[in-house]
Amino acid sequence: MNSTTDDSLLLSKILASREHDLQHYFELSMLKMLEKEEDLEFIDKILKEAESNAILASILALIDDFISLELPGETESLEAYKRKQPWLSEYLVCSDPEFNLLLQKHLSNRQLYDGLLDGIYGDKTKQAVDKFKQIEGIDEPELGLKTIGKILTN
């Protein structure tokens, strides 16, 4: 197996086996303060694990980046907010060039992506992801865990 295949299998396994942990990490990260000892232990454990697992570290970094964004107020719809912040969609989707390159390679292998393998989540990559979601019948607004898992495991 080559490095790309190994990385995609590892990412797929992380997403499949750790979906609950990633959701829990996200929820705890949204809190202003952790009050339970078990929550502190959970955060400490997953961060320690990420120190030796670059893919997990990238996923946690994406979650942290998302949380740090100024999100729309109660009276503003997400669509209106996106129109004011056109960079938001691409930024939230993929900010890791190595991850983007992995997506591009898998989409290219399926003849869905014919652009440069450059690690940039640009228009061609987005179009290829949208085409993949349409073919697979995936209903997600952007590049979500379900889409990522399917791209990297098919």
Choice between 17 and 71, residue whose per-residue pLDDT is larger: 17
Per-residue pLDDT reduced to its tens digit, 102-150: 889 999 999 999 999 988 888 899 899 999 999 999 887 777 777 887 8
**Cα–Cα dist 7/102, whole Å:** 8
Look-up: residue for tokens 């499949």? Answer: 16
| pLDDT over 70 at 77, yes or no | no
Nearest to 104 by CA among 123, 94, 119: 119
List the domain boundaries for the chain.
3-153
The pLDDT of residue 110: 93
Half-sphere exposure at residue 110, Cβ-oriented, CA atoms within 13 angstroms? 20
